[in-house]
Amino acid sequence: MLRILVKEDENIDRAIKRYRRKFSKTQILKELRERKEFKKPSVEKREQMQKAQYREEYLRKENNQ
């Protein structure tokens, strides 16, 4: 559970902003989406390989320009 301590002088909007930042850093939402359905290890490995190939191709194009 995330806890955000709100100081006396602090604006509530500022505290909400800190909460959102902390929430995104913990990547809870990403984990929930991944656990929604089971993926076979071979499928996960294939997706990782495709992402890596895409990244390599993208970086190669960036360096050539």
Q: Where are the domains of the chain?
A: 12-64
Q: Which residue has the tokens 């505290």?
A: 15
- Chain segment 25-50, per-residue pLDDT in tens: 888 888 998 899 999 999 999 999 99
19 contacts 5 by C-beta, under 8 angstroms: no
Cα–Cα distance, 14 to 48 (Å, whole number): 37
Whether the per-residue pLDDT at 59 is higher than 90: the answer is yes
Planar angle of CA 59, 61, 63, nearest 5 degrees: 70
Instruction: Name the pTM for this structure.
Output: 0.52
